[in-house]
Amino acid sequence: MISPFRAGLAGGLTGLALLAACNSSPSTKSVSAGSPASAPAADSSQSTPSTVPVSTDFGKMPDGQQAQLFTLTNAHGLKATVTDYGGTLTSMLVPDKAGKLGDVVLGFADVAGYTSALYVQENPFFGALIGRYGNRIKLGKFTLDGKPYSLPTNNAPNSLHGGTRGFDKRLWTAQPGTSPEGQTLTLSYVSADGEQGYPGTLTTQVVYTLTANDALRIAYTATADQPTVLNLTNHSYFNLGYGQTKDILGHELTLNADRFTPVDNTLIPTGVLQSVAGTPMDFRQPHTIGERIKQVPGAAPGGYDHNWVLADAMRPTPALAATVHEPVSGRTMEVHTDQPGVQFYSGNFLKGNLKGKGDVAYVQHYGFCLETQHFPDSPNQPKFPSTVLRPGETFKSVTEYRFGVRK
C-alpha cells in the first residue's frame, strides 16, 4: 500500500514538466535599471544573461571555509543571489510598477552577517534551506517504527527547523548550470545518520531556477537509506516594498486555504484542522497583513505564525497557494506549490537588532514568510499527512515564487 506521502512524491517530476510547459512563453515586459538605496544596483548593460550563474566570493565562515555567492539572471534583468552557505537566498531583484528593480528579500551582504554571534542568537533563518525537518517538533521527540528519537530543543521546549545546526548552517555543494527554463543552481548536501538526532543518511538536492517569465522555482529531491522523517522548505523573508515601507503590515495577502492548524502556547499544533471562517486567519479574500494581526490568538509577541491547510496530502502538481500585493511598489508575488501546507509567518520575533543590506534595521514585521511544507509536528500527529521517508522512495517537491506588478 502506498502512503499519502509516498504517493505525493511521484508528482514532483510531473509538476516540473507541467511548469516547464507553462513557462515556455517568456513575458514581454521590459525593466529599467534602478532600485531603492537599500538594494544592489542592477546591471542595465546586460540585456542577455550569461549561460550559467556567475560566482563570486561571499566571505569566509568561522571555520575558515570559503562561501560562494551565485547570481542567477534572466533576460528581463531580474537577479536572484544564492549562497552555498545554507543554500540561502540572499537577495531577489524584481521590478516595481515603474519598472525599477528593487530587492525584496531580507538578508546580508556577506556570509559574516549569517554567522555573527547576534544572528546565531536570534536565529531568524533568513532565506535558508531548512531541514531535516522544517517547523517545530514537540519537545524534540518522536517515535518511528516503535523506536524513540530525541532532537535538540533549540526553540524551548521544542525542536525547530532541524535543530541547533540544521541544513541552514551547512555548506552545500553547488553546481551552476542552465536549463530550457532559465539559469539554475543545483545544491547538494548529505546529512549523516544521527545528525541532529535524525535517523538514516539523507541525500538532498535542491535546484533553484530563475525562469524566463520571472519566477524563482525551488525543486527539492531527497532519498534516505533508513526510515526517517523529512520536511524541507525555504525560509525567505519577503518585503515587496523593501526600502520604501516601514514594515509588511500594508501588504495585501490572499491564502487559498479554508482550514488552519491552531497551536498551543508553544506554537505546536493541537491536532485540530479548524475552519478559517469567522477568524482573523481567513485570507480567502485579500486582507492586509496588519488589518487583524492583533486579533490572532497565541503566545507573545503575537502575530501570524501558523500553518494553513492547502490539501489533505501532497498534490500531484503545484497549484496557487497564496498571492501578495504591495500597493506602494505595485509588486505582486504568487506562491505555487504541491505541498499540503504553507506556514505564514509575519516576522513577529524580529527585534530590530539585526541590520541587513543598505543598513536597514529588521524590526518586528519587516518581513513575512510563506514556507511551503508539511504540517508542523507531523511525526507526532497521526492524522496529519505523513512525513516519513523510507528507503527506496524518492521525495520530490516543487515551489515557485512568481513575481509581477499591478499598476
Residue 189: C-alpha distances to residues 22, 129, 171, 235 (Å): 30, 11, 8, 17
Is 195 an annotated catalytic residue? no
The closest alpha carbon to 169, from 267, 67, 70, 71, belongs to 67
CB 104 within 8 A of CB 239: yes
Is 306 an annotated catalytic residue? no
Q: Which of 76, 161, 181, 235 is catalytic?
A: 235
Give the other-Cβ count within 10 Å of 275's Cβ.
12
For residue 35, what is its C-alpha cell? 532600485
Q: Which of 195, 326, 371, 400 is catalytic?
A: 371
Catalytic site positions: 235, 371
